[in-house]
Amino acid sequence: LIWAPSGRRLVSGLLALNLVLLGAALLTAEVFNPEGLKHQEPRLFILVLMALSLAWMLWYLLWARRQPGISPHRDHHAGGICVTVVLMVFSACSLLLHVFKMGYYIIMAECKPAAKVLLPFFEAPFLGLQTYLLWGHSRDCIHKHKILTRSGLVLTLTTDLLLWLSAVTEDTVHLEIELEKEERAVFPHASLPGSFDDSNIGMGNVSQCHCGAHAGCRIFRKGYEVLYPFNIEYYLMAACLLYIMWKNVGRHMEPHSHPEHAQKVTLRVVYHGGVLFGPLVGAVVLLVGIAIFIMYQVWVSSAHGRFTAFVLFYSYHLAVIPVMSFCSLAGVIIHKIEARAQDMGHNPTRSLDVILLLGTALGQLSICYFSVVAAWGMGPSGILGGLDLSYSLLSLLELILQNIFIIEGLHRHPDITQRQSRRKIREFNSFFKKGIKPKDTTKEVTDPPVPLVEKSEVRTATVAPVEKEPHSRNHWSRRVLQEICAFLILANIMLWVIPAFGAHPQFENGLGKQFFGFSAWFVIVNLGQPLGVFYRMHSVGALLEVLVTA
């Protein structure tokens, strides 16, 4: 899975690299010198890329895919049912966002540049067509017109990345809202205990178009404000799927088991293993979380309920996250006690999993560290400040412990003993001590043959006791691990749903906003939050695997 470019992939890779760098330079130029580029070059560049991508997608969907033998294989690991459904939801929200954006820009047309007003009209069809392509063809391993296909994929990918980057750095609408909020803040009911609305940093260059009393304009702008995180998520997710499609061009797949299989296995494990407490507690967390989320969404938009909404949000997280940390810690300790053989062989899928886990965790880790630094810099500041600080610190702990638990779980050797009779266990253990790998038992392992590496302690100390009473001990530790995994899966789903569907108190309630300035904090949160959502999604998948192999 390492990116070893051959002739053709090299060319499309270099194309992508150069387009992304040029686009990033243009967008950066706009941030640092908004007056410097007189002809809206960043937007024109994105429009050209979008037109080219649209042309390629139409070519592929209308003409190329009808040809025989263009996609003889399908990669069943790409674009699972869960990912596709989430992508559809995000795409629907993004399309709605673009409708609001069109309305807002048409009302504001006289004081916005033409390229900006035109952009949503091109972006909506691009988004729709791309969603259709990813829905139907994200598993294709295309084998014809490889150069054209790779270039087209790379063009679409580049457009997604630049639209994402532009969404992350484009904060004018939010600056306008902040300004109006300040204007409102002279009314007495708007001054809440512990609210930080009075920050004045980073409000430099806002255009002077206000909605004023225009009701339609305000509705459109509110819709824009609520929906834009979905758009950011959508572009990141679509870029990931396109990247996998690009890697799959020209790939030959071996016939594999379907990934849906794993989910069925999970259900069977949970059902037959008598795993009860984990799913039960997880379901409670899920239900309470949904109730809290709905209350948060109802109250946060009103000036009166804002404070209560924040307190509710933080209280919920401060209750759930310590339990999750404790469960992860218990799991790590059980791993240590069990001291099972570790599977350290080369396994590219697992390496990618681990890299993705650590890479996406970076998002929330950095938001937490930035919050902690901001809290340190600002000193003690009210209830919300204290809640935010404890939330950040506990999140850090939880992320670290959960990562250790998941990664150690992924590296444990799948439990062969459970699928075999006692006789075979003893046979395996005796081979194990001699360091010889018996041919017949390795057939039970689902993965391709991997070397069995033992930890030195295993060999010296714990093999004998395991051999003495393998069943009772295994059963005990298996059960606890499965309960922990089941609970963590449901809790992670909840922690994924809350920020994915628009609750961002760390952005709205702002020690960080006050300390780093509006623009910097906007960029930090908008880079970190989508990665955090990705992390939760990915950790659910990894925990499923740990649960099955526990």
Q: If 0-12 CB within 10 Å is exposed, 13-18 middle and 19+ buried, where does residue 53 land?
A: buried
Q: Is 258 left (phi over 0), alpha (psi -120 to 50) or beta?
A: beta
**Rounded Cα distance, 233 and 532, in Å:** 10
List the one residue from 90, 235, 310, 370 that touches a copy of itself (CB under 8 A): 370
List the one residue from 171, 400, 458, 539 that touches a copy of itself (CB under 8 A): 400
182 in contact with a copy of itself (CB under 8 A) = no
List the one residue from 13, 113, 279, 470 that touches a copy of itself (CB under 8 A): 13
Closer residue to a copy of itself, CB minimum distance, 63 or 376: 376
351 in contact with a copy of itself (CB under 8 A) = yes
403 in contact with a copy of itself (CB under 8 A) = yes
515 in contact with a copy of itself (CB under 8 A) = yes
List the one residue from 350, 513, 536, 538 that touches a copy of itself (CB under 8 A): 350
**Rounded Cα distance, 174 and 525, in Å:** 13
Give me the amino acid identity at 13: G
**Rounded Cα distance, 337 and 494, in Å:** 30
Per CB under 8 A, which region of 15-23, 110-118, 299-307, 310-318 contacts a copy of itself? 15-23
What's the half-sphere exposure (Cβ side, CA atoms, 13 Å) at 86? Answer: 22
What's the half-sphere exposure (Cβ side, CA atoms, 13 Å) at 4? Answer: 2
365 in contact with a copy of itself (CB under 8 A) = yes
The closest alpha carbon to 406, from 539, 259, 548, belongs to 539
List the one residue from 81, 109, 290, 355 that touches a copy of itself (CB under 8 A): 355
**Rounded Cα distance, 372 and 511, in Å:** 9
64 in contact with a copy of itself (CB under 8 A) = no
Size of the site for a copy of itself (CB under 8 A): 58
List the one residue from 319, 376, 461, 471 that touches a copy of itself (CB under 8 A): 376
Closer residue to a copy of itself, CB minimum distance, 366 or 429: 366
Q: Residue 456 Cβ, how far from a copy of itself at the closest point, in Å?
A: 11
Per CB under 8 A, which region of 118-126, 129-137, 313-321, 510-518 contacts a copy of itself? 510-518
Q: Which two tokens stand for residue 286?
A: 């899920």
**Rounded Cα distance, 426 and 393, in Å:** 47
The contacts of residue 416 (CB under 8 Å, 6+ apart) are 428, 441, 444, 445
537 in contact with a copy of itself (CB under 8 A) = no
310 in contact with a copy of itself (CB under 8 A) = no
**Rounded Cα distance, 443 and 416, in Å:** 10
Per CB under 8 A, which region of 161-169, 184-192, 228-236, 344-352 contacts a copy of itself? 344-352
Give 79's DSSP letter: S
354 in contact with a copy of itself (CB under 8 A) = yes
List alpha helices for 170-276, DSSP H. Answer: 172-184, 215-248, 260-272
333 in contact with a copy of itself (CB under 8 A) = no
390 in contact with a copy of itself (CB under 8 A) = no
Give 77's DSSP letter: T
Tell me which residues in 133-172 interact with a copy of itself (CB under 8 A): none
408 in contact with a copy of itself (CB under 8 A) = yes
3-state secondary structure of 448: coil
3-state secondary structure of 74: strand
393 in contact with a copy of itself (CB under 8 A) = no
Q: Residue 41 Cβ, how far from a copy of itself at the closest point, in Å?
A: 7
Per CB under 8 A, which region of 63-71, 104-112, 264-272, 370-378 contacts a copy of itself? 370-378
41 in contact with a copy of itself (CB under 8 A) = yes
The contacts of residue 242 (CB under 8 Å, 6+ apart) are 134, 153, 156, 157, 160
520 in contact with a copy of itself (CB under 8 A) = yes
Closer residue to a copy of itself, CB minimum distance, 22 or 497: 22
Residues in the chain: 550
Give me the amino acid identity at 381: S
**Rounded Cα distance, 461 and 458, in Å:** 6
Tell me which residues in 426-455 interact with a copy of itself (CB under 8 A): 455
**Rounded Cα distance, 32 and 14, in Å:** 27
The contacts of residue 218 (CB under 8 Å, 6+ apart) are 211
459 in contact with a copy of itself (CB under 8 A) = no
344 in contact with a copy of itself (CB under 8 A) = yes
Closer residue to a copy of itself, CB minimum distance, 50 or 396: 396
Closer residue to a copy of itself, CB minimum distance, 63 or 369: 369
416 in contact with a copy of itself (CB under 8 A) = no
**Rounded Cα distance, 423 and 238, in Å:** 50
Q: Residue 420 Cβ, how far from a copy of itself at the closest point, in Å?
A: 26
What residues line the site for a copy of itself (CB under 8 A)?
Answer: 2-7, 10-11, 13-14, 17-18, 21-22, 24-26, 28-29, 32-33, 36-38, 41, 342, 344, 346-348, 350-351, 354-355, 358, 362, 365-366, 369-370, 372-374, 376-378, 396, 400, 403-404, 407-408, 411, 455, 515-517, 520
